[in-house]
Chains A and B, each alone.
Chain A
Amino acid sequence: MEQKPIIETVELTKKYNGQAAVDNLSFTVHEGEIFGFLGPNGAGKTTTLLMLMGLTEPSSGKARVLGVDPSREPIRVKGMIGYLPENMGFYRDLNAWQTLRYIAELNGLLPGVADERIESALRMVGLIKEAEKKVGAYSRGMRQRLGIAEVLVKEPRVAFLDEPTLGLDPDTTNRMIGLIERLCKEKNMTVLLSSHFLHQVQKICHRVGIMISGQMVAQGHMKELAEEMPETKDGYSLEEIYMKYFREE
């Protein structure tokens, strides 16, 4: 599985007013992998995602997504990435179907293809019954689901999910996690997932990276990270590992 690098950064740095939000970040994500992106608030996770999509200019360093430089060819990169923003907004007067239709059209999908994908996306996130309801009347969790559906409609090769399970009920959370896993396996989708729910990350992520103050302090498989722990014991939880690095800072 770990052959083809899909996301690569080399000493990626972003400074806001002289302060580094992302500091010399280098990491690689391979094809079909689910990479868990962890770190306290303000660590620079969202900033990194934005730079990988060409939505924010890096101060220095290099990034490649599917071999394309996002700051040079943002349109190409954005066409291949499905992005779930951390606080997404919706057009309140459109219903779910219209919202997804708009996204599909912006991605240049033909109406026939779009309709099929929209329907299956709505089924997958469980919004098919509420598809005709205006988004303004949606609950928090329903909006989150619609956001995930927006990613699904694109059938992207790479997905950037910033807090995908925030506000979802436990049942839906499990279903979404299962969905992400399935898409990675079946469609060979690569996922970069930022989350604070460590037990979920532990469940689905193949590898994790822990980011603190703009720097990646640790990355690798759960097993590798567990080996770095002071005592050797079986079954370290991700939470224990995370807390160790967090305390060290």
Chain B
Amino acid sequence: MHGIITIFKKELSDHFSSYRFLLLFALIAMVSMVTVYMAGLTITKELEGVAKPKFVFLMLFTSSGVGFSLTQFVAFFGPLIGLILGFDTINREKNEGTLSKLLSQPIYRDAVINGKFLAGAAVIAIITVSIVLLISGLGLIMVGVIPGIEEVWRIFIYLIISIVYISFWLGAAILFSILFRSVATSALAALAVWIFFSFFVPLGANAVANALTPDAGESDPDAVIKRAQIGKALSLTSPMELYTDSTATIIDPMRRTTRSFIQVGMMEQLSMARFSGPLSLGQSVLVVLPYIISLIAVTAICFAISYIVFMRQEIRSL
């Protein structure tokens, strides 16, 4: 146990003293502030002389100020945070010759992966929490409404999901740092996977769904539903999709349209309920729980592969 804690502490202090962390934080803080500032301007303008809707504060996160909303920004660029923090975790130590020294100390090999992952996850948590606090403060000043208890809860859950989501990418990056000896190669591989899931899976899911249901048209509503289901199921292989869907329900309870509304099945009733008013917090959590579990599951898979590969690697080739 002392192994994990020691490695965790060292990695954490390494992160905090690195320019990488500083730049990352500055960049994210800047973009978030601008986004929320613009969103705040839009909201205050729209709400002038209108009765205040229920979740004004949450709108800071979901309305687009400069072409994209904060949640979209995190969904899209959050992975980069995880990848940047993790792509050279193991191979840098290999290349500098410190890994064999580390492993000749009385610690388990998995303590190295775990300690490093936890340190990265802690950094992710610190970044996201402080950004959300920062923009909440900014939002408070700009919009002038104090978030209700339910909104605070929703933001809290949103934070948790975001941390899990970005940590998944950290886990993937660590896996690449184990698989590839060269730091540049693992960075490229991580980038390729990010691009694949962000751009190709959504496009590909639709293409495949269209190909599988050629006769879908106005005359055949069943096929339309089927097409939507296939497209949805395929796109859910992307962690980004899992994340977008889950956070949308949590942070945007008023959402009138959802890409999944055509989907029938267990969510049908809940989907219908959306048309009559905001989903209650409990219902929202119920809807997103499977998504969160899936996110954790894919992270676990990354870890399992990391363990298997790392445990078996010959120390001489390290």
Binding site for B on A (CB under 8 A): 47, 50, 53, 55-56, 75-76, 78-79, 81, 83, 85, 87-93, 102-103, 105-108, 150
Question: Does B315 sit within 8 A of A, measured CB to CB?
Answer: yes
**What residues of chain A lie closer than 8 Å to B265, measured between beta carbons?**
none
Q: List 30 A-B contacts (CB under 8 A).
A: A50-B315, A55-B100, A55-B103, A55-B104, A56-B314, A56-B315, A56-B316, A75-B106, A78-B104, A78-B106, A85-B97, A87-B97, A88-B97, A88-B98, A89-B93, A89-B96, A89-B98, A89-B99, A90-B98, A92-B96, A93-B14, A93-B17, A105-B2, A105-B6, A106-B3, A106-B102, A106-B106, A107-B106, A108-B2, A108-B106
Query: What B residues does A81 contact at CB under 8 A?
Result: 104
Task: Count contacts between A and B, CB distance < 8 Å.
Answer: 65
- Which chain B positions have C-beta within 8 A of A89? 93, 96-101
Closest to A82 in B: B104
> B104 contacts which of A53, A92, A105, A108 (Cβ < 8 Å)?
A53
User: Taking the complex as formed, is B105 at the interface, i.e. its CB lies under 8 A from any CB of chain A?
Assistant: yes
Tell me how far the C-beta of B97 lies from the nearest C-beta in chain A, rounded to whole angstroms.
3
B256 CB–A CB distance under 8 Å: no
* Minimum distance in angstroms from A109 CB to a CB of chain B: 9
Closest to B94 in A: A89
Asked whether A50 lies within 8 Å of B316 as measured between CB atoms, the reply is: yes
- A102 engages B10 (CB within 8 Å): yes
- Interface residues contributed by chain B, number (CB under 8 Å): 25
**Interface of chain B residues 1 through 36 with chain A (CB within 8 A):** 2-3, 6-7, 9-10, 14, 17
**Closest A residue by C-beta to B96:** A89
Q: What's the nearest-Cβ distance from chain A to residue B195, in Å? A: 32
B96 to chain A, nearest CB (A): 4
Min CB distance, B309 to chain A, in Å? 16
Q: A76-B106, A78-B104, A89-B93 are in contact. List 10 more A-B contacts (CB 8 A).
A: A50-B315, A75-B107, A78-B107, A85-B104, A88-B100, A89-B97, A89-B101, A105-B9, A106-B2, A106-B106
Which B residues lie within 8 Å of A90 (CB)? 96-98
> Within the assembled complex, what's the spacing in Å between the Cα atoms of A102 and B9?
10
Asked if B200 is an interface residue, CB under 8 A from chain A, the answer is: no
Task: Write the nearest CB–CB distance from B77 to chain A, whole angstroms.
Answer: 28
Can you name the residue of chain A whose Cβ is closest to the Cβ of B314? A56
Bound Cα distance A92, B96 (Å): 9
A77→B59 CA distance, assembly (Å): 58
- Once A85-B100, A87-B97, A89-B98 are accepted as A-B contacts, the answer to whether A106 and B316 lie under 8 Å apart by CB is no
Cβ contacts under 8 Å, B96 to chain A? 89-92
Contacts of B107 in A (CB 8 A): 75, 78, 106
B6 engages A106 (CB within 8 Å): yes
Q: Which residues on the A side are within 8 Å of B106 (C-beta)?
A: 75-76, 78-79, 106-108
C-alpha gap A106/B2 in the complex (Å): 7
* C-alpha spacing A93/B107, complex, angstroms: 22
Chain B residues with Cβ below 8 Å from A88 are 97-98, 100-101
User: Is the C-beta of B68 less than 8 angstroms from some C-beta in chain A?
Assistant: no
- How far is it, in angstroms, between the C-alpha of A181 and the C-alpha of B180 when the chains are bound? 43
B7 cross-chain contacts in A, Cβ below 8 A = 106
How distant is the Cα of A87 from the Cα of B97 in the complex, in angstroms?
7
Q: Which 4 A-B pairs have the closest CB atoms?
A: A89-B97, A79-B106, A106-B105, A89-B98
CB-CB nearest in chain A for B6: A105
Pairwise interchain contact A107-B316, C-beta atoms closer than 8 A: no
B98:A91 contact, CB within 8 angstroms: yes
Task: Return the chain A residue nearest B99 by Cβ.
Answer: A89
User: Contacts A89-B96, A93-B14 hold; do A83 and B6 have CB atoms under 8 A apart?
Assistant: no
